[in-house]
């Protein structure tokens, strides 16, 4: 079990509660409009396509590809000082090209990351009861 970190932890609101609960179960849950069936990312109350307030949650495969990335060399938070340099990656999920998550790649050197490389979700415990979605090479 991970020790408490000094990193800011997600504070699940009503719209994203199921996303974060899924992460803690090891599942990537994506919100989808129950009317027009388009995914909503970020999770939100109203569908930006049809204005419906109805939602459903779909367990995504966790498979995707690197859409873009950067390497952070200047820590933007005191808790990140010991982690630089680290990567910040946009992962495009295979379920929908509009599902692009901002995350980190693990299990790979920063200089080996390539746009388009296939990746798979993993869930890393930031601190007890808080898991974050990350990705590893598939």
35 binds Zn ion (CB under 5 A): yes
The contacts found for 107-110 with CB under 8 angstroms, 24 or more apart, are 107/136, 107/137, 108/136, 108/137, 110/71, 110/85, 110/86
Closest CB to Zn ion among 38 and 63?
38
Closest approach, Cβ 13 to Zn ion, in A, equals 20
The only residue of 49, 83, 97, 107 in contact with Zn ion, by rule CB under 5 A? 49
Q: Which residues contact 81 (CB under 8 A, 6 or more apart)?
A: 75
DSSP state of 19: H
Q: How far is CA 69 from the centre of its chain?
A: 14
30 binds Zn ion (CB under 5 A): no
36 binds Zn ion (CB under 5 A): yes
47 binds Zn ion (CB under 5 A): yes
Closest CB to Zn ion among 33 and 93?
33
Planar angle of CA 63, 32, 35, nearest 5 degrees: 145
Closest CB to Zn ion among 57 and 86?
57
Residues that bind Zn ion (CB under 5 A): 33, 35-36, 47, 49-50, 52
């Amino acid at each position: 079990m991970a020790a408490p970190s000094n990193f800011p932890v997600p504070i699940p609101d009503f719209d994203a509660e199921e996303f974060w609960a899924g992460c803690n179960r090891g599942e990537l849950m994506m919100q989808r409009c129950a009317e027009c069936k388009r995914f909503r990312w970020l999770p939100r109350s109203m569908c930006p396509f049809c204005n419906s307030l109805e939602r459903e949650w779909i367990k995504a495969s966790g498979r995707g590809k690197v859409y873009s990335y950067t390497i952070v060399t200047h820590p933007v938070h005191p808790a990140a000082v010991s982690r630089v340099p680290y990567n910040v990656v946009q992962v495009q999920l295979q379920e929908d090209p509009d599902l692009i998550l901002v995350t980190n790649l693990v299990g790979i050197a920063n200089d080996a990351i390539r746009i388009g490389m296939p990746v798979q979700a993993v869930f890393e415990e930031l601190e007890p009861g808080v898991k974050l979605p990350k990705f590893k090479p598939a």
